[in-house]
Structure 1
Amino acid sequence: MILVTGGAGFIGSNLCADLEAAGHRDIVVADTLGHEGKWRNIAKRGLRDVILPDEIEPWLAARQRLAAVVHMGANSSTTASDGDAVLRSNFRLSTRLWDWCAATGTPLLYASSAATYGDGTGGFDDDAAPEALARLRPLNLYGWSKHLFDRWAVARAAEGHAPPQWAGLKFFNVFGPNEGHKGDMRSLVAKTTPGIAAGGRVALFRSHRAGIADGEQRRDFVYVKDCGAAVLWLLANPQVSGLFNLGTGRARSFRDLVLAVGRALDVAVGIDFVDMPEAIRGQYQYFTEARMDRLRRAGFERPFASLEAAVADYVCNHLVVDDEYR
């Protein structure tokens, strides 16, 4: 039996689809469904159970071991400001899951984030050495909460108190199916496809940094299906533990991204540039690019889809069809 926290969310529900396709039949989702239609993300899955987040600990207390805990649940808003709420959801629950997995011998894979790298001036190397982690300066509360747990996990592992396998996955800019419930936090692919398909223009943020042209802010955009392949590989290789980036290793611009949407739809894309809101200018990442050496050295050889191929699959096989859900 595998527990997937955040299993009705974007990455979590895709992982449930990947696990089911790989032959796993006893999948338990822990998540809140709310009113945004998140239930549709898991509507096709034959799940063993669905529990609420506040039921996780008593549910685990009744079990001696699981095949794995895949911990994707978190408050992932980069504009969250309630420190106490973020600490409870992103740090305290994670430490308790770690302790339970260590005590029962259950593998634990959890979501970290590229937000731990802050503005990127310190690089994007998933070095788990304590001194390397201490140099990182996240720009927002969400990134700090993920960084706090990364440092805690590395310290506990060094003390010999760890699950038999553990992996913290530093997801970069993930996009793909099952993100409709995220509203304004959806990827730019999801946001712009309807307008581009209708022949409209796209608005991108103007650059507010010297030397970077409008629309040339660059991110490591990674397809959620590739992330799922990496998670399945880790579960199949229990000897591999540590912190690992999950990106493509190649940064691309936001202009590239929307032009890829246009190519997928065979529509010419017009771009307008608008000022970035003052509220996010101080914590905006102008460049992210995952160093993928560690995951590759660990043995993960599967190539990541190009931006154009991933966008085409997402747009044509999910966003412009009647049923967008996996």
Structure 2
Amino acid sequence: MILVTGGAGFIGSYLQAELHARGEETVVVDWLGHEEKWRNLQLHAPSRVIAPEDLDAFLASKPDIKAVFHMGAISETTATDGDLVWHTNVTLSQKLWSWCAEQDISFIYASSAATYGAASTREEFSDDPSNLEKLRPLNLYGWSKHVFDLWVAQQLRDGKKTPKQWAGLKFFNVYGPNEYHKGKMISVIKVKYDDISKGHLAKLFKSDSDSVADGQQARDFIWVGDVVDVMLWLYENPHVNGLFNCGTGVARTYLDLAYAICDSLGTPREVEFVDMPAQLRGKYQNFTCANMSKIRGLGYKKEFTTLEDGINIYVKKFLQGSMYY
């Protein structure tokens, strides 16, 4: 069986759907809660759903697991509870890494592009190991992900036993179905879709930098299906190990994004610029772009979905259609 932590969440449930389609037996570690998060699993239920607090007991029972996809985390970039973030994003990740090493099974985990902090050029978004110590994340979430990446690097330097295969993925700006439970951390694409579909103008933040024009803040937006494809490629290629970027390698502006949503909805290309919230000023990344040469060099060949095509799929097939994947 395959264990998916955070398997009822956004990326985790999309991965769960693909594993289910392949006939894999899966166990999901997550809380379903009292809202509608269960719907992320309604079309592809796992064999079991285990609450995170019951994970230790489950692993102690020596289940027949061949791989762990560790997607579970506190992912809010505005999180402030340092103790909770550390326990969830660092301690749990260390426990799972060590368990996979002991059991000699594969471990594929979610890192984040938030680890890059104020990086502003494509060259600075390098997943080369020599760049790791130079990174300075801007928020607690990014720092917690970076701490675990550093811990992994230290395990390797110390010659400690590692999982059969290990791979960390620095996710850039992921969007797509099954993200509806994420509240204020939902993708900007869903937020702008809601505004435009209700007849409002898409609101974009004014720039807080003299060198970046309003609407020209750029991100590497990646369709969730492409993210999962990368994870499954890694699983199918157990000789590939390392910490990798997971984006498209192309930065697109927020104005591009808003226009693509307008086009998909058949509405005029009109936007409104609003002041950036005070809590984001000085912590806002004006540019992200994954350098994808490392994983490309190891054999990942599939082309990534363009922003326009991804938005059109998301809008037509899901937001105006079945909603869930």
**Aligned residue number for residue 124 of structure 1:** 125
Query: Given residue 258 of structure 1, which amino acid in structure 2 is its aligned partner?
Result: A
For normalisation by structure 2, the TM-score amounts to 0.97
Structure 2 counterpart SS, 1:168: strand
Q: 1:265: how far off?
A: 1.4
Counterpart CA distance in 2 for 1:34 and 1:269 is 38
Alpha-carbon shift at residue 211 of structure 1 (Å): 1.9
Q: Please state how far the C-alpha of 1:127 moved relative to its aligned partner.
A: 1.3
8 Å contact kept, 1:10–1:177: yes
Q: CA deviation at 1:200?
A: 2.1
Aligned AA (1:125): S
- Residues 20 and 46 of structure 2 are in contact (CA less than 8 Å); yes or no, is this contact kept in structure 1? no
SS at match of 2:152: helix
CA distance in 2 between counterparts of 1:7 and 1:98 reads: 17
Give the corresponding residue for 2:315: 315
Q: Which runs of 5+ in 1 are unaligned?
A: none
Amino acid at match of 1:298: L
What is the CA RMSD across the aligned residues, in angstroms? 1.2
* Identical positions, percent: 49
Structure 1 counterpart SS, 2:53: helix
How far apart are 1:65 and its partner, in Å? 4.5
- Report 1:228-307 matches (<5 A): 228-307=228-307
Aligned ranges for residues 45-194 of structure 1 at < 5 Å?
Answer: 45-63=44-62, 65-121=64-120, 123-129=124-130, 132-158=131-157, 159-194=159-194
What amino acid maps onto 1:81 in structure 2? T
- Cα contact 1:65–1:106 (8 A) shared by 2: no
| Aligned equivalent of 1:39 | 38
What letter corresponds to residue 136 of structure 1 in structure 2? L
The CA deviation string for residues 200-244 of structure 1, in whole angstroms up to 9 with x for no partner, is 211100001012111110000000000011111000000000000
Q: AA paired with 1:301?
A: K
DSSP-derived class of the 2:279 partner = helix
* Match of residue 325 from structure 1: 324
> How far apart, CA to CA, are the structure 1 residues paired with 2:63 and 2:104?
9
SS at match of 2:225: helix
Query: What residue is the counterpart of 2:19 in the other structure?
Result: 19
Whether the aligned pair in 2 keeps the contact of 1:200 and 1:270 (CA below 8 Å) is: no
Report what 2:29 is aligned to. Answer: 30
Paired amino acid for 1:52: A
- Displacement of 1:199: 3.0
Deviation at 1:36, TM superposition (A): 3.3
Aligned partner of 2:211 in structure 1 is 211
Q: State the TM-score, normalizing by the size of structure 1.
A: 0.96
Whole-Å Cα distance in 1 between the matches of residues 306 and 315 of structure 2?
A: 14
Higher mean C-alpha deviation, range 35-44 or range 253-262: 35-44
Mean Cα deviation higher: 240-249 or 40-49 = 40-49
What CA deviation, in whole Å up to 9, does each residue of 1:105-140 have, x standing for no partner?
Answer: 1100000000000011481000123xx211100000
Distance in 2 (CA, whole Å) between partners of 1:50 and 1:138 is 33
Which amino acid counterpart does residue 251 of structure 1 have in structure 2? A
State the alpha-carbon separation in 2 of the partners of residues 205 and 123 from structure 1: 24
> CA separation in 1, counterparts of 2:291 and 2:175?
19
SS in 2 for 1:291: coil
Number of residue equivalences: 322
Deviations 1:140-184 (A, max 9, x none): 000000000001112212314210100010000000000111122
